[in-house]
Chain A
Amino acid sequence: RKEVEQDPGPFNVPEGATVAFNCTYSNSASQSFFWYRQDCRKEPKLLMSVYSSGNEDGRFTAQLNRASQYISLLIRDSKLSDSATYLCAVNSRGATNKLIFGTGTLLAVQP
């Protein structure tokens, strides 16, 4: 089983839609959680960290569920410019140097 798993998608949604991605992790010692965004043929860039209490950044909301070992990303009012691959990443306690990525979820926002 992979340490971090995501639905690869693609998620095809119309502009203005709300879309949610989940990411599951297998290591219960995982300590820190992040969402990255990767545009086609570009490098990944940090979108937001995920805090235990949940956090919001504009149209983006990230949540952590430690009991079920998953993190989520909610995008409200989708824009064409949100089209990208969204990667979750996890650090483990005792191995904080190793940021492990999921395979990514492809989002395509349609006009």
Chain B
Amino acid sequence: DAGITQSPRYKITETGRQVTLMCHQTWSHSYMFWYRQDLGHGLRLIYYSAAADITDKGEVPDGYVVSRSKTENFPLTLESATRSQTSVYFCASRTSGNTGELFFGEGSRLTVL
């Protein structure tokens, strides 16, 4: 009953490789989000989803692809990883009614060499 889990927690890959970060939540929350966190930039929204099969771009969507075929899963794919995508990635979810309280996963630390 972990709530929201991300995998892998740590990943090292090479430039040009495809990488998928997984996010799974057990609360049946409608909304799910992907953020990246970098020094000097804070948390920046990549993509979000209001429900299964509904996704939308955030502040920094370029280079990323998302899907949401099931309510509980929201994978983030880097189709061709670049060094600038080295970051900590946080998945988050919330209910449809409360716009402020996001529940975050523990984060996935990605290094692109």
A residues with CB within 8 A of B: 6, 8, 32, 34, 42-46, 49, 87, 89, 91, 96-104
Contacts and interface: CB of A to CB of B under 8 A. Distances in A.
B104 A98 contact: no
Contact of B58 (A32, A43, A44, A98): A98
Contact of B90 (A8, A44, A91, A100): A44
B79 interface: no
Given A43-B105, A102-B42, A103-B42, A97 B56 contact: yes
B100 A103 contact: no
Chain B contact-residue range equals 20 to 34
A98 B42 contact: no
A98 B48 contact: yes
Contacts of B105: 43
B90 A97 contact: no
Given A32-B100, A43-B106, A97-B56, 11 more contacts: A43-B107, A46-B101, A89-B100, A91-B100, A97-B50, A97-B99, A98-B45, A99-B33, A99-B102, A102-B42, A103-B42
